[in-house]
Amino acid sequence: MTSPTQAPEQTRTHEPHPYIGGRNAALRALTAWRTERPGAPRVVILTGSPGTGCSRLLTGFLMLCDPEYRKGLELDALDPATVPPDLPAPAVPSVAGLTATQILWLLADHYELSAARTADIFPELGQLPLSGRPVTIVVPDVDRAGPVRGTGEPAHVVRDVLKPLAAVESLRLLADVPREFAVELAEGLPPGVARIIDLDAPEWADPEGLVRQAEALLHPQFGAPELPFTTAPDARRALAEVIARRAGDGAGSRLTVHLAVQSILMHPEGFDPADASQLPGSVGEVLDLHAERLDVHPRTLRQILAPLALAEGDGLPVHLLTPLASAVAARDMSEDMARGMLLVAPFIRPIERAGEGVPEDERTLLGLPHPGIGEAVRAGIPDVPGAQARIAMELLEAVPDQDWAKAGAYVRDDIAGHTLEAGLLPRLLTDPGLFAHADPVRLRAAVEAVPPEQLDAPARTYLRTAPLLTRTQAPATLRAALLETAFVEDGLPEYAAVLRRMVPELPWHTLWSVPVAGVDAVTVGTLPPSAAASDSAAEAAPLAVAVSTVPQGTPGSSPLKADDPKAPALLVQDLATGSVIDADPTQILRPSDDERATGPLGFSRGADYVRVWRRGEQKGDEKIVTALISATPFTGTDLSPDGILLVATESGVKALQIRPAQPCATTARRSVSDPQAAQPEPAQAPEPKPEAAQAPQAPGPEAHPPA
């Protein structure tokens, strides 16, 4: 009890979180999860509509979970129930742009697991706490997963990553997922294990935090211009309350408030703080009211923003915005774009890119500052597939001379995403040039999203080869070479020939490929003229051949021991064409050790690669010519004196002419004089280890958008 002379004790008030500005109820729930308080869930699922503030809440919470970052915060001023204990930072994989498989390997690398398969990652994670190493994982922004928007990667992340993680009883998980997956993620877990925090729900409402957000945005101290309703505290507070009340505390409220204030401050002329009808209740209304205050039809603003709402990745190169806006609107938007910067200013953000590999005209991208803006714009497009089809056609027109090697990075790498959403991707997947030059991670993701029955043979070849392209991160020339070989293997020589013509610097030409099972070893050799059938009596040089050790019964082979059915057989083929030769294996002459040692080329082999190198004048002067990489282990390898690489895997044998071959004396004739002659040239071209990701970390305040 206080004495009459003492002032009554004031109820202590706590400062709001400096980055979030509120959301104390949600912060208390997250802190209980982090603290492992009795009755707290092991799995927390954070969700809400775009613009409700999930990303900002999670970023602010992770600041409190990072031992280094929290040193810069005045923790004593905050509500103790919202401050987690000082524990080691959780793993925070950045999932934006990644596939479910990439995310799993990111976690495996972070925890230094020995797993060889993704299925092994979950049990190994479950064993870590038994050794005294806690496993706490926070997965933000699942809605941004996937290299291509139209592939539905967030669903794969939920089903293939988050649900198995949630099922590991020794692991604690916090994930920010789209609302349509929140219940699915919680299903199957015992009662009390999971809790869904839906920021659109009334129990998590934070009206005072919304007012505080608007008031801060209106304050000149934080960059607002000096206006009657920004400099006067009472007027500023009153306007903030009206803005927050109009936005409500449900779907998209934080983003709506943020954009509403930006719109007012960028064009305050004619704005009346007392007129609530000038204030929006949703992101879509922000767009329309902003355009009307600038005496522009709302449709024009939405047409300018449409290409950005439909864009892939971080945004569009500046020079593409006008032609793509014109394509979507089906009219010339040049004049609208010329006078539209003030119109679009609150809704776009420039992204500057540096680096030697970034062309000058693609150093600046234009993007939307928040996915919620894109969702509002897309909702107003009556025919999204049709709009994407018009964008795709415009992008095709932007390919110089229809040569994908000359195309801009966005056109080359992201056209597949647009054609996928337009339903036209299968039509694009007949162009070997696109296969070779497009980013393999994004193109593979788009092709995998197409129903298999809609894919023609070239696309199926690409899909078969794509894992090798993404695993090795091969550059464009090596991608073209690997695809050239794959087309020959799949009986599509005309597509291989197109790549040879389009990419003249290919390190090899595939002469032939034959599907033969059970090849144990291969070697090159020669047959004397008397032992090799020839169409010309004038042919006096020996014939170069490929010899494969195969199981007895292989068509065209000769058994080494006819009386022993388990003994191997030899398959003799023309080294230049792959044609089977009926010859006596005892007549075949192998290159001597001296011949191999003095040849211009040498090779070394690993389990799934062969390196070919050119000999120097002195030992140690060797230079790598190329490297052949295989999706399956090699079972045999040899190299002829004139540079034909013979390789075998479990699926067959193939011969590749290494280029450019150093001039040297040819001791054996070939039945085909030029490698390209092994496959006919068509008259016309026919009518397409995951990328390294950053280690998990607790993001700072710039890791997520402001709303």
> What does the pLDDT look like over 656-676, one tens digit per residue?
999 974 444 333 444 433 333
Of all residues in the chain, the percent with pLDDT exceeding 90 is 77
Average pLDDT over residues 691-695: 37
Measure Cα distances from 670 to 534, 540, 606 in Å: 11, 12, 29
Kindly tell me if the per-residue pLDDT of 540 is higher than 70: no
- Tokens matching residue 544: 């170069």
Average pLDDT over residues 281-286: 94
pLDDT of residue 412: 96
The arithmetic mean of pLDDT across residues 109-113, rounded, is 95
Q: Which of 357, 348, 469 is nearest to 409 (CA)?
A: 357
Mean pLDDT value across the chain: 88
Question: Looking at residue 532, what is its pLDDT?
Answer: 58
Q: Is the pLDDT of residue 704 over 80?
A: no
- On the question of pLDDT at 420 being above 60, the answer is yes
Q: Is the pLDDT of residue 626 over 60?
A: yes
**Confidence check: pLDDT of 30 > 80:** yes
Alpha-carbon span 107 to 112, nearest angstrom: 8
> What is the Cα 578 distance to its own chain's centre?
39
pLDDT value, residue 8: 38
**Residue 130 banded pLDDT, cuts 50, 70, 90:** confident
**pLDDT for res 618:** 66
Stretch 47-74: mean pLDDT, rounded? 94
Instruction: Give me the half-sphere count of Cα atoms (radius 13 Å) on the Cβ side of residue 2.
Output: 7
Q: Go through the domains of the chain in sequence order and give each one's CATH number.
A: 24-204 (3.40.50), 207-248+252-281 (no CATH), 296-381 (3.30.420), 383-492 (no CATH), 509-533+540-678 (no CATH)
Residue scoring higher pLDDT (693 or 239): 239
Distance CA 270, CA 293 (A): 8
The pLDDT value given to residue 220: 96
pLDDT tens readout for residues 465-502:
999 999 989 999 999 999 999 999 999 999 999 999 99
The percentage of residues in the chain with a pLDDT greater than 70, rounded to a whole number, is 89
What was the pLDDT predicted at 689? 35
Tens digits of residue pLDDT in 131-186: 777 899 999 999 999 999 999 999 999 999 999 999 999 999 999 999 999 999 99
Query: What is the structure's pLDDT at 706?
Result: 37
Alpha helices in 46-141 (DSSP H): 54-65, 100-110, 118-127
Looking at residue 249, its pLDDT comes to 66
DSSP line for 410-432: HHHHHHHHHHHHHT-HHHHTT-H
The gap between the terminal CA atoms of the chain, to the nearest Å, is 46
